[in-house]
Amino acid sequence: MNKKAQHIDKLQSFKINNSQQWVLVRGTDIKNPLVLFLHGGPGFSQIAFAPAFQKKLEEHFLVVNWDQRGAGKSFSEQEQNRILTLEDFINDMHLFINALLLEYKKDKIILIGHSWGSTLGTLYCVKYPEHISGLVCCGYGINFRDGEKVSLQYLSLKASEAKCTNFFKEMEPFKNEISKSNFTQYIAFKSKWMGKFGGYFNVPYSRLLIKALPSLLSFRYYSIKDYSNWIKGIKRGQAIGKNTLLNIDLFTQAPKVNVPLFFCIGRHDYNTPWEVARKYYKKIEAPYKEWIWFENSAHSPIFEESDMFAEIMVSDISPHLA
């Protein structure tokens, strides 16, 4: 097979549990190991912009970006009123991974989870470890309630230093409890103040946007309708989130995984605070586990330090995969 024939850049749909779900598969050699990205959210799909950050990965891996049910290209108006559960996502993922392995003639797949995707990937590996050669987690969602306490402590410190009284007025409804009734308002509040005080991105957001723009504006993977559905999927993801994230506690739900586990953690992450991830790293049992700092990242090393992430995948992580 010549070099050109080995290259792949393909949008593909799979029918999973009566839902049409879309993936983007890219790589310089179809024979390379298979990597599946599990995006954040729920609902924050990344097919439209991820290729801008994955070129170095694509030289060594067959990279798959999957718009999960209800997100991006996989958004469906017919399913809009259905409240998805964690089990729905895990069941979808199981059928999808089996179909993907069959399609590309692989025995195993590497999972890379970001934020909500890291939580989903961990719980999947507890139940179905057999076809997973390794789990790589960034912006690791471990325990929602514990994490938000640390996030609020961080933001409160920054607000005090800035003598910003508005922050404390706006925080008042969330001081005692984050619940289903105030979850959507809390996410908006947190996003606003993390945008001001940091904790979500360490690299300037404008720099990431400039890098992503060529992919976003090419309309190569997303149509105008897909972009509209992308926004709808993000909004819908908040409704899904309040029914799933509030009950996440990997300390009890996933004390052990039977796959090699890699924590790729941004030093400045206070969206899913690194302190909670560090406690989990010390407690979780795995056949191999490794903690890798990304000194110039916050919540998203896969985007903020994408070249370094690719280099670590090749040099540090690949030798330890099952």
Q: In whole angstroms, how far apart are CA 209 and each of 52, 110, 134, 149, 206?
A: 10, 27, 30, 29, 5
List the alpha helices (DSSP H) in 104-180.
116-127, 144-161, 165-171
| Structural domain spans, the chain | 3-144+199-320
Q: CA 88, CA 16: separation in Å to the nearest integer?
A: 11
Query: What pLDDT sits at residue 1?
Result: 42
Name the range with the highest mean pLDDT among 1-10, 28-37, 72-81: 28-37
Q: Which of 297, 276, 263 is CA-nearest to residue 149?
A: 276
Phi and psi (nearest 5°) for 22? -110, 145
Q: Which of 296, 291, 289, 249 is CA-nearest to residue 269?
A: 296
**Residue pLDDT, tens place only, 50-64:** 999 999 999 999 999
Q: Measured between alpha carbons, how far apart are the two ends of the chain, in Å?
A: 27
Residue type (1 letter), 82: R
Secondary structure of residue 322 in the 3-state scheme = coil
Q: CA 236, CA 83: separation in Å to the nearest integer?
A: 9
Tokens, residue 295: 């000194």
Check if the beta carbon of residue 28 is closer than 8 Å to that of residue 56. Answer: no
Query: What pLDDT sits at residue 288?
Result: 98
Confidence of residue 4 (pLDDT cuts 50, 70, 90): low
pLDDT over 60 (residue 224): yes
pLDDT over 80 (residue 152): yes
Higher pLDDT, 80 or 40: 40
pLDDT over 80 (residue 109): yes
Query: What pLDDT sits at residue 93?
Result: 96
Q: CA 310, CA 322: separation in Å to the nearest integer?
A: 19
CATH 3.40.1360.10 fits domain 3-144+199-320: no
**Residue pLDDT, tens place only, 177-195:** 899 999 999 999 999 999 9
Query: What pLDDT sits at residue 63?
Result: 98
Mean pLDDT confidence for 267-274: 97
**Residue pLDDT, tens place only, 5-22:** 489 999 999 998 888 999
Share of the chain above pLDDT 70, in %: 98
DSSP 120: H
Mean of the per-residue pLDDT values for the chain?
93
**Residue pLDDT, tens place only, 307-316:** 999 999 999 9
Q: CA 185, CA 132: separation in Å to the nearest integer?
A: 37
* CA neighbours closer than 13 Å in the CB half-sphere of residue 181: 3
Handedness of CA 37, 189, 206, 314 (dihedral sign): negative
**Residue pLDDT, tens place only, 257-268:** 999 999 999 999
